[in-house]
Amino acid sequence: MIIVIPTCGRSELLRTTLQTLGECRQPSSPVRTVVAENGPRAGAEEAVRGAAAWLHAEYQHSETPNKSASLNLAIAGAGEELMVFFDDDVRIASSTLVAYQQAAERHPAGVFFGGSMGVDYEEAPPEWVKQTLPPSALGVMLDSAAEARKAPFLGCNWAAYASDLRRCGGFNVNVGPGAISGATGQETEMQVRLSLAGLRPKVVPDAMVWHYVPKARCSPQWSLARSYKNGMSTGLTRKHDGMQFFGCPTWLVRKYVGQIIALYLNPMTYSRHRRFKAKCDLQYMRGQMAGLRHVWMHSRRGAGLGERAVVNLPGTDVAG
């Protein structure tokens, strides 16, 4: 088993993650841990030195500030092992590693794995903001029903075999933190390609983490910005047929214009909370159209981004 923790500029949170990782029940098979820092060095190497000895933690650094590229470097250095991915800001349940080991023993091929996620709020947001937040800021409790989706797992708690990740081309550097596009969702995009390659998602009930959510990452301003990024990811990773206007389906353009008219010409029909939700929806559609135009322009120039980024991602199949 290889544990991979990508990180960028958050060494204190990383220390907590490594501490809870070291407090997990130790699997019977060998464990190797790769802390993959991307961008400027910011203390991750020192945090690795304090990790529990049995984790066999090692430090990997890539100058390029791109999470997907950093993950691909870790995949390139792996053999055929199961690779377990955690974020650098999670608290890990003591049962998690053994649960992944046992799941891999039951399913040595043809699947990828994931578990549930709770949240540790610095300060819980009001309910009207929660309604607009993504699952990474709300938590996701999974059961076997999630296995019907192509990409049910959040990126902070999932696993796949290294050979399958390489066979599917690795993580898409056009999506995720550090990508020029600004789009989110590199793990979702990767899971969809695994599903399209014939692998099945498998929920691991005892693999559990809690994601630390600071105030700055569950505020109204953050929710608006995240809605745009999520929309951008949708635009980059989904194909749309039918009539188009500069790469955007005409139904989406009509919906966007209709939402603007409803929101700004009839403001009295919206409560404060409904108005904010409508603004988030508008930001999502703006991002989606920006992503679609990005793919359209690159395909016209023959740059090939459209073939690399678009994977036919059905709207109801993702964790969010």
In this predicted model, what pLDDT tens digit does every residue of 155-192 receive, in sequence order?
A: 999 999 999 999 999 999 988 888 877 778 889 999 99
Q: Which pLDDT belongs to residue 313?
A: 36
Percent of the chain with pLDDT over 70: 93
Token pair listed for 74: 């870790």
User: 123-140 pLDDT, tens per residue?
Assistant: 999 999 999 999 999 999
Q: How many CB atoms lie within 10 A of CB 178?
A: 19
Confidence of residue 302 (pLDDT cuts 50, 70, 90): low
Q: Which pLDDT belongs to residue 171?
A: 94
| pTM for the model | 0.85
Task: Give the residue-averaged pLDDT of 25-54.
Answer: 96
pLDDT of 317 > 50? The answer is no
Q: Which pLDDT belongs to residue 174?
A: 86
**Measured distance CA(115)–CA(267) in Å, rounded:** 42
Q: What are phi and psi of 25, to 5 degrees?
A: -65, 135
pLDDT of 304 > 60? The answer is no
User: 53-77 pLDDT, tens per residue?
Assistant: 999 999 999 998 999 999 999 999 9
**Three-state secondary structure call for residue 99:** helix
Look at 12 and 184; give whichever has higher pLDDT.
Answer: 12
CA dihedral 43, 190, 30, 87 (to 10 degrees): 30
Highest mean pLDDT among 107-111, 143-147, 291-295: 107-111
Confidence of residue 264 (pLDDT cuts 50, 70, 90): confident
Token pair listed for 84: 């377990």
Q: Which pLDDT belongs to residue 250?
A: 92
**Three-state secondary structure call for residue 286:** helix
Q: Which pLDDT belongs to residue 76?
A: 93
Q: Which pLDDT belongs to residue 306?
A: 41
Task: Give the residue-averaged pLDDT of 127-154.
Answer: 93
Task: Give the residue-averaged pLDDT of 270-291.
Answer: 91
pLDDT of 305 > 50? The answer is no
pLDDT of 8 > 80? The answer is yes
Q: What are phi and psi of 262, to 5 degrees?
A: -65, -40
pLDDT of 29 > 60? The answer is yes
Tell me the pLDDT of the chain averaged across its residues. 89
Helix axes 220-237, 186-196, angle to 10 degrees: 30
**Measured distance CA(220)–CA(70) in Å, rounded:** 30
Query: Mapped to the 3 state alphabet, what secondary structure does 65-101 carry?
Result: CCHHHHHHHHHHCCCCCEEEEECCCEEECCCHHHHHH
**Measured distance CA(286)–CA(256) in Å, rounded:** 8
pLDDT of 316 > 80? The answer is no
Q: Which amino acid appears at position 165 of this protein?
A: L
